[in-house]
Amino acid sequence: MAVPTKPTAGSVAKAAAKPAGQLDVKDFKGKVNPDWCPGCGDFGVLNCVQRACAELGLLPHEILTVSGIGCSSNFPGYFNSYGMHTLHGRALAVATGAKMGNHHLNVIVTGGDGDGYGIGGNHFTHTARRNIDLTYIVMNNQIYGLTTGQLSPTAIEGMKTKSSPYGSIEVPVNPILSSIMAGATFVARGFSGDGKHLISLIKQAIQHKGFAHIDVFSPCVTFNHDNTFAFFRQRVKRLEDESHDPSDWKAACEKAMVWGDTIYTGLFYHFTDRDSLDDKEPVLEGPPLAQRPLGLSQEQASKVLKRMM
């Protein structure tokens, strides 16, 4: 069941009273505290999104966060904005409807690798293909954490889990390569242990007009003892340090396939010469659909609402 949340009136008024650029993390603190395991990488991602929105001068009521199911998908409850905690793998579908209904909203979709690349893989492919103006942040921990430690689509070969006690025999999904091939126009990878870099990527993604996808290494400290913070710290290397050209499609694909002693983070691919779906849809010219007159009489509108309640 989808659970909607909304920013508190007090937080909206308080944030709106501050000059742009003077918001802080506290303005985006949700009503409840995260219940993630101590040390979970998702804490870092939450903090980075809060800081990115504050530095961009966004206000809570200008943002909608949408999630699916999983540990990371509890995100909307911990972040002060409009929000929806939806169905497993369906976050992008719900976010698409919201963006089409109000294309002035900054829509941020959050979830995990199982939610986004497993059951949600079909929506992931077609959202990228349509280039819908969404920011999609996937907290990738290579395991199903909420259901206590089963093999996920990004788990490496040989990984032992509850569902693969003798080691995984499956080839993992490559989310960066998949995203580029599907048509996403902003594709990046971050690491929750490198906050400054991740904040920069999130800010760029939110400002990008089109489908922006950030895969974030967010280690599960409870069930994944292979892909730990120490594992990534020894291997991650910023693409920016190699003077990578994100407009080079071929180079982006080649970098995305590197996995070993070096694993790249940063902006792999950025394409700006393609309109987003809401820019191409004629019916969305003008104010958001959600703010237009309904075109029904009061009696007709009452009948519709009565049927839906």
31 with 76: CB under 8 angstroms? no
Q: How would you label 183-222 residue by residue, b for 16+ Cβ within 10 Å and e otherwise?
A: bbbbbbbbbbbbeebbbbbbbbbbebebbbbbbbbbbbbb
Contact 223, 148 (CB under 8 A): yes
Q: Which residues contact 5 (CB under 8 A, 6 or more apart)?
A: 30, 31, 76, 77, 82, 83, 84, 85
What pLDDT sits at residue 1? 46
- What tens-digit pLDDT sequence spans the chain (309 residues)? 455 677 865 666 566 656 656 789 999 999 999 999 999 999 999 999 999 999 999 999 999 999 999 999 999 999 999 999 999 999 999 999 999 999 999 999 999 999 999 999 999 999 999 999 999 999 999 999 999 999 999 999 999 999 999 999 999 999 999 999 999 999 999 999 999 999 999 999 999 999 999 999 999 999 999 999 999 999 999 999 999 999 999 999 999 999 999 999 999 999 999 999 989 999 898 899 988 887 889 999 899 989 988
CA atoms within 13 A on the CB side of 19: 0
Structure confidence at residue 5 (pLDDT): 76
Two structure tokens written together for 124: 């992931």
What pLDDT, on a 0 to 100 scale, did the predictor assign at position 3?
Answer: 59
Whole-angstrom Cα distance, residue 148 to residue 39? 16
Q: How many domains does the chain have?
A: 1
List, in order, residues 6 or more apart from 283 with CB less than 8 Å away.
Answer: 289
Query: Could you give the CA distance from residue 14 to residue 174 in angstroms, rounded to a whole number?
Result: 42
Is 105 within 8 Å of 99 (Cβ atoms)? Answer: yes
Q: How many CB atoms lie within 10 A of CB 228?
A: 16
Cα separation, 176 vs 306, in Å, equals 45
CA neighbor of 281 nearest in space, from 130, 59, 95: 130
Enumerate the β-bridge partners of residue 143: 151
Domain residue limits at 37: 3-308
CA 180-186-190 angle, to 5 degrees, is: 95
What is the residue whose two structure tokens read 């870099």? 197
All residues at 6 or more sequence positions from 125 whose CB lies less than 8 Å from its CB, including other chains? 178, 182
Nearest to 73 by CA among 62, 82, 84, 63: 84
CATH number of the domain where residue 210 is located:
3.40.50.970
- Which residues does 53 contact at the CB level (< 8 Å), separation at least 6? 23, 28, 63, 206
Provide the CB-side half-sphere exposure for 121 (13 A, CA). Answer: 13
CB-count exposure of residue 252 (10 Å: 0-12, 13-18, 19+): buried
The single-letter DSSP state of residue 306 is H
* Among the listed residues 192, 189, 169, 164, the one whose alpha carbon sits nearest the alpha carbon of residue 179: 189
Place of tokens 């069941």: 1
Contact 216, 192 (CB under 8 A): yes
